[in-house]
């Protein structure tokens, strides 16, 4: 028998894989109507991923410690427009 954490983690991993594939598919679509459909599916998968994450987090199954201010500032600088050019 699987634990609740194992089941939810498996679901989270499956959704993450699905979003990777949908993202690739949307980038490679030659027809706008197909691309639009794939992007809608991608959005649905992101919603499901967030639902699973929130469920796990609220039950203490996916702890997310607060980031240190220094780390936040480093990330902002790293990903700011024009950074690394």
Query: Mean pLDDT, to the nearest integer, of 65-75?
Result: 93
Rounded to an integer, what distance in angstroms lies between the CA atom of residue 26 and that of residue 80?
26
Give 33's Cβ-side CA count (13 Å radius): 0
Q: Give the per-residue pLDDT at 18.
A: 97
Asked if residue 30 is part of any domain, the answer here is yes
Helix boundaries (H) for the chain: 4-28, 32-58, 69-79
Asked if residue 85 is part of any domain, the answer here is no
Q: How many domains does the chain have?
A: 1
Asked if residue 84 is part of any domain, the answer here is no
Split at pLDDT 50, 70, 90, the class of 3 is very high
Rounded to an integer, what distance in angstroms lies between the CA atom of residue 29 and that of residue 85?
31
Q: 43 near 18, Cβ under 8 Å?
A: no
CB neighbours of residue 51 within 10 Å? 13
**Residue 67 belongs to what domain range?**
4-79
Asked if residue 25 is part of any domain, the answer here is yes
pTM above 0.85, yes or no: no
Query: Mean pLDDT, to the nearest integer, of 57-83?
Result: 92
Asked if residue 18 is part of any domain, the answer here is yes
Asked if residue 70 is part of any domain, the answer here is yes
């Amino acid at each position: 028998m699987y634990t609740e954490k194992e089941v939810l983690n498996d679901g989270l991993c499956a959704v993450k894989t699905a979003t990777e594939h949908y993202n690739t598919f949307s980038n490679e679509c030659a027809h706008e109507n197909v691309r639009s459909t794939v992007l809608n599916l991608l959005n649905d998968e992101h919603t499901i991923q967030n639902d699973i994450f929130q469920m796990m987090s609220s039950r203490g199954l996916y702890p997310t410690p607060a980031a240190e201010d220094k780390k936040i500032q480093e990330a902002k600088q790293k990903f700011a427009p024009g950074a690394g050019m």
